[in-house]
A = this chain, B = another copy of it.
């Protein structure tokens, strides 16, 4: 019986970084999923192209590790501080009711955190689904949102 998770050989290559989309595109100004807001010593912060949840961003650890537990405490702390800085920027720009911090990596096991805000129109009882809705901004509006985020985050 085939198991639904990735085949073992492929998953091992994904976990080791031998195959890793984020290693290839996390630093690019733009890629099919997101645009670069900025980078720190430990991470790249990107604004999702899907702005159904205004401010939805992803903080991607700079080098390839598959899990937060692989880091030394100091590296972990600086990654988490980056996540929090992004969360604070989203809070002050968009005033969500709550912000979810989600580290999963089922499709790309390269350490990253989805900073995923919730708004009044969201159902607090619904399971979180990053792709429940799809909403792209115009190029100009996306660029303006990138600028607003940059103005609020001090990258270390």
Q: Is A5 in contact with B100, judged by CB distance below 8 angstroms?
A: no
Give the residue name and chain of the B residue nearest to A81 (CB). B73
In the complex, the count of this chain's copies comes to: 2
Q: Tell yes or no: A93 within 8 A of B by CB.
A: no
Residues of B within 8 A of A28 (CB): none
With A69-B87, A100-B103, A128-B127 given, is the CB distance from A5 to B122 under 8 Å? yes
Once the chains bind, are A124 and B84 in contact (CB under 8 Å)? no
Would A103 and B106 count as touching, CB distance under 8 A? Answer: no
Q: Does residue A48 face the partner (Cβ distance < 8 Å to B)?
A: no
Whether, in the assembled complex, A32 has its beta carbon less than 8 Å from a beta carbon of chain B, the answer is: no
One of A19-27, A56-64, A113-121, A137-145 contacting the partner: A113-121
Could you show 20 A-B contacts with beta carbons less than 8 Å apart? A4-B120, A4-B121, A5-B118, A5-B123, A67-B99, A68-B84, A68-B87, A68-B101, A69-B88, A73-B77, A73-B81, A76-B81, A100-B106, A101-B102, A102-B102, A102-B128, A104-B128, A106-B124, A127-B132, A128-B128
Chain A interfacial positions (CB closer than 8 Å to B): 3-6, 11, 66-69, 73, 76-77, 80-81, 83-84, 87-88, 91, 97-107, 109, 118-125, 127-132
4 more A-B residue pairs beyond the given contacts A69-B87, A102-B128, A104-B128, with a C-beta to C-beta distance below 8 A: A5-B122, A98-B109, A101-B103, A106-B124
